[in-house]
């Protein structure tokens, strides 16, 4: 009798373990897995780097800034040697972003390539904004804007606040140089 109960318990445990595993890699796992990949440049930027302390901000802008924590940036530059890997990474990112957890906010076609903005969380309390863009000539860039209870309307306010700041792109030099050459 005891062995049947043990077998049943193990079977239930195995079912839970299998159902808990996801076949699609998470965006965070993707960032971590590619941090040391020589084709990628990975940069983590604290929001304090934006130099917003001295800017004349409204209450909404300060609240939006307070909801942001950091930016994770992952960039892949195309070369003649890594074109196949670029296509593979582009497909991997597309599979992750098609996950039902992300809500698409917008798609854009720019002179630099295609881009999309998605978010994770509730409409009025976003925890993560994902900006993804790719170009067949330059490469791809994936940006995670991490925060707590970010409000979409207040994020627009944050963009206006960023215009008022003394931020001149410090800390992004590596990313800019990575994609230029």
Summarize pLDDT for 148-157 with one digit per residue, the tens.
878 777 766 6
Q: If pLDDT is split at 50, 70 and 90, which confidence band does 159 have?
A: low
Element (H, E) at 121: strand 113-122
The tokens 């903005």 sit on which residue? 117
- Name, in order, each residue with C-beta under 8 angstroms of 103's C-beta and a sequence gap of 6 or more: 118, 119, 120, 123
What is the C-alpha separation between 129 and 148, in angstroms, rounded?
A: 11
Could you state, in order of their start, the residue ranges of all structural domains in the chain? 25-180
Which pLDDT does position 64 carry in this prediction?
79
- The yes-or-no verdict on residue 17 having pLDDT over 60 is no
Structure tokens at 175: 């990313």
Which pLDDT does position 180 carry in this prediction?
53
Q: If pLDDT is split at 50, 70 and 90, which confidence band does 141 have?
A: very high
Summarize pLDDT for 73-127 with one digit per residue, the tens.
999 999 999 999 999 999 999 999 987 788 888 888 877 788 888 888 887 778 8
**Helices 152-164 + 59-67 axis angle, to 10:** 100
């Amino acid at each position: 009798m005891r062995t049947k109960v043990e077998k049943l318990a193990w079977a239930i445990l195995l079912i839970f373990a299998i159902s808990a595993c996801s076949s699609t890699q998470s965006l965070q796992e993707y960032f971590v897995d590619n941090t040391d990949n020589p084709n990628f440049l990975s940069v983590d930027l604290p929001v304090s780097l934006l130099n917003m302390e001295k800017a004349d901000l409204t209450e909404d802008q300060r609240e939006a800034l307070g909801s942001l924590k950091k930016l994770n940036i992952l960039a892949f530059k195309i070369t003649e040697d890594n074109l196949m890997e670029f296509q593979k990474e582009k497909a991997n990112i597309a599979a992750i972003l098609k996950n039902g957890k992300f809500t698409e906010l917008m798609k854009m076609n720019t002179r630099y390539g295609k881009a999309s903005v998605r978010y994770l969380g509730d409409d009025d309390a976003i925890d993560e904004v994902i900006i993804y863009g790719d170009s067949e000539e330059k490469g791809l860039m994936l940006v995670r804007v991490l925060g707590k209870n970010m409000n979409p309307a207040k994020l627009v306010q944050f963009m206006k606040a960023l215009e008022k700041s003394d931020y001149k792109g410090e800390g992004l030099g590596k990313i800019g140089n990575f994609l230029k050459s």
